[in-house]
Amino acid sequence: MTYLESIGKYFLMIAEMFRKPTKWSVMKHLILKDIDDLIIGSLGIVAFISFFVGGVITIQTALNISNPLIPKYLVGFATRQSVILEFAPTFTSIIMAGKVGSFITSSIGTMRVTEQIDALEVMGINALNYLVFPKTVALMLYPFAIAIGMFLGILGGMAACVFGGYTTLDDYILGIQTDFDTFHITYSFIKTFVFAFILATIPSYHGFYMKGGALEVGKASTTAFVWTSVVIILLNYILTDMLLG
Amino acid sequence: MIEVKDLHKSFGDAHVLKGISTSFDKGKTNLIIGASGSGKTVFIKCLLGLIDYDQGTISYDGKIYNELNESQKRDLRAEIGMVFQGSALFDSMTIAENVMFPLRMFTKQSKSEMEDRVDVVLKRVNLDGAHGKMPSEASGGMQKRVAIARAIVNNPKYLFCDEPNSGLDPNTAIVIDNLIQEITDEYQMVTVINSHDMNQVMEIGEKIVFLKHGVKEWEGSRETIFKTDNKAVTDFVYSSELFKKVRKMYLQENQ
């Protein structure tokens, strides 16, 4: 019953987020600030993780291909498929649930604890539109970070392949070009848009409706991370079944 | 003028406000006092429209809050200034940006006009030159003064303060009290203060409403509070030996 109530409250929050819009001159600054905080500020960690995980996927694949009948270019093929289909959109989103999600929950939660949200409401400002809407818009640029993640993941794989001596550069490049289906990129970006919306709204929900003090802000951040991850994993399954199944 | 008639509010089985009726006049500092759990915070949140009440009416200069549509409520809220207990300054903004915030949200003034107005109100609260500081760099007293500046920057008709002296040393508390009283007179606002501070009651309580268990137990002024024989009020206000002596001396002098 509590879960159903929370789900209902979450959807009401989303509906409320679009009502009574904040003045555009103020909103544009909020959106730009959130793009800086949430997207630009995450590029470093996305790039770092993508590059090295791409490398690890390549090494693991290469080490597990012992049959001489399997062509060497398969290493590049497997890396590309893993990075584009799952690693970049899903795995990175789970990491972002920890980084961006906990940032959103704790910043909004702290505003709740310190009565800053009450101050907005007393002034007649729609606090959900003021706080959550710009984050949602900012995270619509999240696919841009994922595109960089895809590129660096494949690049990391190439570096591991060449410098680790697992296969030749030509084989790797042949592998990443083999049987390339552009719909896989579309599928990946559709997932990324959905995950971006989840990354903005679930942590905001946990921050906005939290009660208590500093300790509860920490708890809300943890809860937000858990639920954001759970919803991303579930939606990943549903979207994959719908789009590729 | 704010007029409250037969205000009721319950949370589940807990009947928090039980038919409160009172009024708060323009140009006066009105204090709501009472022990913890007496319903002061719920009462002030009902006045601010942060909590929906169950029964009764609250009218702002004749406009009944619950009969207003969303747009009229928004217009009314733009006329309200609020000083929160913890100041509630936006910690991502500088002091000047905090004060400018209501102007940016509700007016079409140019940047230079807004900056001029910010200069005026910061000067009024003796914070000239603190524009670029972040709230975290300001002391408790400074933060309260910034909160007051933010509350009055848009020339509100109604000013609400939730325990404006909490956490301040006695000297700073007196400065804040005097500032609130001066600006109430200067801007001819209806000022409603939620307070625990008996010094504040004696200093600036032009009208005092005493709540007990969600009921208006007594109302009067800082003059009449000395003379009242209402036991609930005297037990609460004169709980310390010092205040008992002050009251005794006052009564002896005025006999």
pLDDT tens-digit profile of B193-232? 998 888 888 888 899 999 999 999 999 988 888 888 888 8
Residue B55 confidence (pLDDT): 93
Is A156 among the domain residues?
yes
What's the domain range around A29?
A: 25-243
Place of tokens 């991303």: A232
A244 by Cβ neighbours in 10 Å (0-12 / 13-18 / 19+) ranks as exposed
For chain B, give the percent of residues with pLDDT over 70: 100
Is A1 among the domain residues?
no
Q: Which residues contact A104 (CB under 8 A, 6 or more apart)?
A: A38, A135, A199, A200, A203, A204, A207, A224
Q: Do A119 and B82 touch (CB under 8 A)?
A: yes
- Chain B residue numbers touching A110 (CB-CB < 8 A): 91
Binning pLDDT at 50, 70 and 90, where does residue A89 land?
A: very high
Residue B51 confidence (pLDDT): 87
Q: Are B183 and B150 in contact (CB under 8 A)?
A: no
Q: For residue B239, is pLDDT > 90?
A: no
pLDDT tens-place string over residues A157-212: 999 998 998 889 999 999 999 999 999 999 999 999 999 999 999 999 999 999 98
Total domains present in chain A: 1
Q: Is the dihedral of CA A222, A225, A231, A233 positive or negative?
A: negative
Q: What is the Cα–Cα distance from A157 to A51, expressed in whole angstroms?
A: 7
Please tell me which residue of chain B has the smallest CA distance to A112.
Answer: B88
Average pLDDT value for chain B: 89
Q: What is the Cα–Cα distance from B27 to B36, expressed in whole angstroms?
A: 28
Q: Which of residues 105-144 of B touch A (CB under 8 A)?
A: 105-106
ipTM of the complex: 0.83
Is A5 among the domain residues?
no
Q: Are B112 and B187 in contact (CB under 8 A)?
A: no
* Phi, psi (deg, nearest 5) at residue A171: -65, -40
Q: For residue A1, is pLDDT > 70?
A: no
Closest approach of chain A CAs to the CA of B49, in angstroms? 7
Is A6 among the domain residues?
no
The 8-class DSSP code of residue B109 comes to -
**Interface mutation target, options B84, B111, B155, chain A, most CBs of A under 10 Å:** B84
Is A10 among the domain residues?
no
Q: For residue A78, is pLDDT > 90?
A: yes
pLDDT tens-place string over residues B109-123: 999 999 999 999 998
Quick one: average pLDDT of A219-231? Answer: 96
Residue A3 confidence (pLDDT): 87
Please tell me which residue of chain A has the smallest CA distance to B48.
Answer: A122
pLDDT tens-place string over residues B178-191: 888 888 998 899 99
B78 touches chain A (CB under 8 A): yes
Among A66-70, A121-125, B218-222, the minimum mean pLDDT is found in: A66-70
C-alpha distances out from residue B174 to A130, A178, B165, B183, Å: 36, 78, 8, 14
Is A206 among the domain residues?
yes
Is A230 among the domain residues?
yes
Residue B140 confidence (pLDDT): 87
Is A9 among the domain residues?
no
Q: Which residues contact A80 (CB under 8 A, 6 or more apart)?
A: A154, A157, A175, A176, A180
